Amino acid sequence: MPEKSYRLDLQYHGAPFAGWQEQPGATAVQGSLKESYSEFLGVFVEVEGSARTDAGVHARHQIALLRAETNVPARAIHLGILPYQREGMHVFRAVEVANTWRPRPALSREYRYFLWKEADPPLFLRPFTSGTNCELDLARMVEAAGYLEGEQDFTSLRAAGCTARHAIRRVERVDVIDRGPYWEFRVIGNAFLRQMVRIMVGTLVNAGSGKIEPADVGRILEKKDRALAGPTVPPQGLFLWRIALEEDEEIAIPPTVWETTPGGN
């Protein structure tokens, strides 16, 4: 039987998973996809993702490659997995691709973080946000965000245990948006270090609360010292929002709670 390759576009809740990457003794998204498709197709499958997410982090849009010896059409790859896929995961699109196709490197990856303006977020939003009891100044956070843009060494925003060979990354844009009852942080770049976006947000919150000056962010990066940056904010507020590949087509992505919440976009 010939080997076929499929592009999968999927979403998942972060809470049930120990992140994207398959790992021994833990339930990860990659491993769960492999198990689900192996059970459905009755053959060994390979799965490769476009981005890694840490434990507890959600994905509004993740792209993956599924490779298997099968004659199943793409429509069945999309719909046939439904009875087998783990709770909290949804493959919403599948297309057959050439066996030479790969989901990496990505042209860009966008992350969004949602921070409620009170320490106690509404019950039905708690799985998708964290809260703060600090008064934050938008102008200070916007100014601080400017120091995070561009290609530079992000060692100061790199979590312990990060296995990346180096800390040079290119961040195209960092936006801070006041949504009324909550803050929205948007970060777009080519690639990210372990927990880098969450440490970015923690550092911007420090600037917004007055713990540091906005210009201190530039100096924190220059020092290459994680101890100088802000805290790592909780994972439930972070979404891998969108991945763009070279020559990618526009696709419809099912909405999250934030796109149906007043003030969301």
Per-residue pLDDT band at 99 (split at 50, 70, 90)? very high
Place of tokens 């039905």: 124
Q: How far is Cα 67 from Cα 96, in angstroms, rounded to an integer? A: 10
Say yes or no to pLDDT of 39 above 70: yes
Yes or no: say if 132 and 43 are a contact pair by the CB < 8 Å rule.
Answer: no
Place of tokens 């390979």: 46
Choose the catalytic residue: 9, 54, 178, 225.
Answer: 54
Q: Annotated catalytic, 248?
A: no
What per-residue confidence (pLDDT) applies to 102? Answer: 94
Per-residue pLDDT band at 248 (split at 50, 70, 90)? confident
Residue 60 phi/psi, 5-degree rounding, is -75, -30
Say yes or no to pLDDT of 243 above 90: yes
Place of tokens 């921070």: 115
Which pairing describes strands 58-69 and 150-153: parallel, antiparallel, or unpaired?
unpaired
Residue 72 phi/psi, 5-degree rounding, is -70, 130
Residue 15 phi/psi, 5-degree rounding, is -55, -40
What per-residue confidence (pLDDT) applies to 262? Answer: 61
Lowest pLDDT segment from 79-83, 247-251, 252-256: 247-251
Say yes or no to pLDDT of 85 above 80: yes
Question: What number is the average pLDDT over the span 207-234?
Answer: 97
Residue type, 237: G
Question: How far from the centroid of its chain's Cα atoms is residue 240's Cα?
Answer: 2
| Average pLDDT score over the chain | 95
What per-residue confidence (pLDDT) applies to 263? Answer: 61
Lowest pLDDT segment from 1-5, 155-159, 203-207: 1-5
pLDDT tens, 112-124? 999 999 999 999 9
Taken in order of first residue, the domains within the chain and their CATH numbers are 3-97 (3.30.70.580), 108-259 (3.30.70.660)
Q: Is 201 exposed, middle or buried (0-12, 13-18, 19+ CB in 10 A)?
A: buried
Say yes or no to pLDDT of 48 above 90: yes
Yes or no: say if 232 and 100 are a contact pair by the CB < 8 Å rule.
Answer: no
Say yes or no to pLDDT of 264 above 70: no
Helix axes 216-223 and 196-209, enclosed angle (nearest 10): 140
Say yes or no to pLDDT of 261 above 80: no
Say yes or no to pLDDT of 265 above 70: no
Question: What number is the average pLDDT over the span 201-223?
Answer: 98
pLDDT tens, 160-190? 888 888 999 999 999 999 999 999 999 999 9
